[in-house]
């Protein structure tokens, strides 16, 4: 009888943890933006830009993901080939990037 009650509480605890994770995931889930003809890609550079994607942690569920240089370059390349996007606007505030990263972004923006 005690084993059954222990398993029941373990199952309830497991379901609560799974439910909590699902709520966090769904709250962070953002729909893809609609790209209408004549759209302009707006890139705001502020803060750290990592070379690659950072590893998954529990804390990353609650915070915004840092942007990687690779994802920025891929986004620019995709925007250049998308017929609905007519321009790319970059808003540079206080990026924490080096010269090589700046050159790679510049090369991606050039035709």
CATH at 73? 3.90.226.10
Longest CA span, the chain: 72
* pLDDT at position 34 over 70: yes
Q: Where are the alpha helices (DSSP H) in 1-111?
A: 2-28, 69-81, 99-109
- 28 φ, ψ to 5°? -85, -20
pLDDT tens digits, one per residue of 44-82: 887 777 776 666 666 555 556 667 888 888 888 988 888
pLDDT reported for residue 73? 87
For residues 102 and 56, membership in a common domain is answered with yes
Residue 86: domain span: 33-109
Q: Is the pLDDT of residue 101 over 70?
A: yes
> Which DSSP helix (H) or strand (E) runs through 87?
strand 85-96
41 and 25 in a common domain? no
Structure tokens at 62: 């609650």
Q: What is the mean pLDDT of residues 85-106?
A: 83
Question: pTM here?
Answer: 0.57
Query: What is the structure's pLDDT at 14?
Result: 93
13 and 58 part of one domain: no
Q: Is the dihedral of CA 75, 62, 92, 52 positive or negative?
A: negative
What pLDDT, on a 0 to 100 scale, did the predictor assign at position 15?
92
């Amino acid at each position: 009888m005690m084993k059954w009650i222990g398993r029941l509480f373990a199952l309830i605890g497991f379901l609560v943890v799974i439910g909590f994770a699902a709520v966090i995931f769904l709250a962070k889930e953002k729909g893809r933006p609609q790209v209408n003809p004549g759209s302009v890609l707006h890139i705001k550079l502020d803060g750290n830009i990592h070379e690659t994607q950072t590893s998954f942690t529990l804390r990353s569920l609650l915070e915004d993901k840092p942007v990687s240089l690779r994802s920025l370059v891929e986004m620019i390349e995709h925007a250049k080939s998308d017929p609905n996007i007519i321009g790319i606007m970059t808003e540079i505030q206080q990026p924490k990037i080096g010269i090589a990263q700046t050159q790679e972004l510049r090369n991606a923006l050039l035709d």
